[in-house]
Structure 1
Amino acid sequence: MFKNRVWALLAMAIFVFTTGCKDESKSINTAANAKQAVETVIDSIIEPKVEQPVLKSLEDVADSTFVRLSDYSDGFAYDLRYATDNNFLKEQVYDCGECYTRAKTVKALLKANEEFNKHGVKIKFYDCYRPNSVQYKMWKIVPNPQYVANPVKGSIHNKGGAVDITLVTLEGEELNMPSDFDFFGKRAYHDNFDLPQDILDNRKLLKETMEKHGFWSTRTEWWHYNLQGASHDPIANFKWDCE
């Protein structure tokens, strides 16, 4: 586009110049020479660079700022269920799947994932920050506080301090866990030990590692973790752009 504009301006100058020549042969030669000169100039033009925004180091980002997790690590896996209809609502409630949380939550998640990597696994996300408007949409579909937090009070997901997660191998294979995500029953409870040993071991690894890095679990959902202190943060309602 930039070169095209330059060529148009120079071509106009050639036309004005050559039409002013009385001798036709001189005009043709002048035009040819001018055209060659213009092409040489255009080829030497360096188009202006479009600078891409540079992400700040996470250490320079305020803890309360919302950031996209994938901008700071490619070491996680994602299955963001609410951007699909594969969830207990049976309805897509996100326009597209992205994992945003507050910067302080990301910092803790990165440290936890480093430790998981030592065991040959990594975190896979089912849900991260959730806009409060989506919480209202979920409440309209399932107005039951046993399953969906009342949007007036808000969920810690709405505050950027909660994540729903599981573990997968570094190659992406899911570890056996007590149940599927958003299974509402005793099988998903942390105090249910009537499970195969490998499942108990996997749940224990997830729970103990997350708690070590500042998260706490909820008794009835093995996948849900809240960052310590996040309940004091304000409810947010920004929506991310879908590319």
Structure 2
Amino acid sequence: MRNFYSAIVLLVFFISCGESPKNKKDLEQKKEVVVQQVDTVVNEKRPKKIFRTFDKLTDTTFVRLADFSDGFGYELRYATKNNFLKEKVYECAECYTRVKTAKALLKVNEEFKKSGVRIKFFDCYRPNSVQYKMWKIVPNPQYVANPKKGSIHNKGGAVDITLESLDGEELDMGTDFDFFGKRAYHDNFDLPKEILANRKLLKETMEKYGFWSTRTEWWHYNLDGAHRYPIANFKWNCN
């Protein structure tokens, strides 16, 4: 789209001026100035996105996080084959949580932004039917919750996350998401200082806003009290 505007504007510009640029550098300089002016006008005319509010919503209502903010990053792995299941188990990539969880996430994300980073999601609410698939592949409660009891993911109170820069560059946490091994443990301090500092920033800030972690997964956080929510199995619409 930017190139399209550039071509049109330059054509009009040089026809109206009745002259051609002296050299390529001159052309590029004039092009950049004019295109910036066009981009400014286009952006001013483009309507701003209106986000939902939590008015009249109970804390237990499920909501789509992207409807309330565009300040997060997303790489929802279970909507792809890039996960330990090696299969796509969500029809489309969406991040749902309970309202109470969403409110806490919005607050903690504002705190992260002060440090020049933001939350990036790997998983949010997870239908209980997906939990059964995971349990079948990895029936180990150290890594996967028994679906009969339900994961806090199934209750809308857990998220799998990392941190990324505001430009979208992930911080180094030492392992990939869903790495089943000691290197992913919170109490493994035999790691480079940068990785330990990144994990500390993630953990301490999440805990400040009511989330708690699990020992074996640096990426997993539960909202305090979310274990009381009922297990859910609804599947969101893919439009």
Tell me if the contact between 1:164 and 1:225 (Cα under 8 Å) persists in the aligned partners: yes
Structure-2 separation of matches of 1:66 and 1:85: 25
Q: 1:145 maps to what in 2?
A: 141
Structure-2 separation of matches of 1:95 and 1:101: 17
Q: Structure 2, unaligned stretches of length 5 or more?
A: 1-49
Name the SS for the 1:108 alignment partner. Answer: helix
- Post-superposition CA distance 1:193-216 (Å, at most 9, x none): 111111111100000000000000
The alignment status of 1:129 with 2:114, answered yes or no, reads no
- How far has the Cα of 1:188 moved from its partner? 0.5
The alignment status of 1:75 with 2:75, answered yes or no, reads no
Q: 2:94 maps to what in 1?
A: 98
* CA RMSD of superposed structures (Å): 1.3
AA matched with 2:68 = Y
- Post-superposition CA distance 1:96-125 (Å, at most 9, x none): 110000000000000000000000000000
Structure-2 separation of matches of 1:211 and 1:89: 29
Structure-2 separation of matches of 1:233 and 1:176: 33
- How far has the Cα of 1:139 moved from its partner? 2.0
The alignment status of 1:117 with 2:117, answered yes or no, reads no
Structure-2 separation of matches of 1:186 and 1:142: 16
Q: 2:219 maps to what in 1?
A: 223
Name the SS for the 2:109 alignment partner. Answer: helix
- How far has the Cα of 1:55 moved from its partner? 7.3
Q: Which runs of 4+ in 1 moved over 3 A?
A: none
Tell me if the contact between 2:51 and 2:69 (Cα under 8 Å) persists in the aligned partners: no
Matches within 5 A, 1:1-243: 57-243=53-239
Identity of aligned residues (%): 78
Name the SS for the 2:160 alignment partner. Answer: strand
Q: Structure 1, unaligned stretches of length 5 or more?
A: 1-53
Q: 1:18 maps to what in 2?
A: none
Tell me if the contact between 1:84 and 1:93 (Cα under 8 Å) persists in the aligned partners: yes
Query: Given the superposition, is the C-alpha separation of residues 55 and 77 from structure 1 closer, same or farther in structure 2, using an over 3 Å criterion?
Result: closer
Structure-1 separation of matches of 2:73 and 2:52: 23
Name the SS for the 1:235 alignment partner. Answer: coil
Name the SS for the 1:202 alignment partner. Answer: helix
Tell me if the contact between 2:52 and 2:68 (Cα under 8 Å) persists in the aligned partners: no
Between Structure 1 and Structure 2, whose CA radius of gyration is higher?
A: 1
Tell me if the contact between 2:54 and 2:99 (Cα under 8 Å) persists in the aligned partners: yes
- Count the aligned residue pairs: 190
Tell me if the contact between 1:93 and 1:138 (Cα under 8 Å) persists in the aligned partners: no
- TM-score normalized with structure 1 length: 0.76
Tell me if the contact between 1:69 and 1:99 (Cα under 8 Å) persists in the aligned partners: yes
Structure-2 separation of matches of 1:147 and 1:89: 13
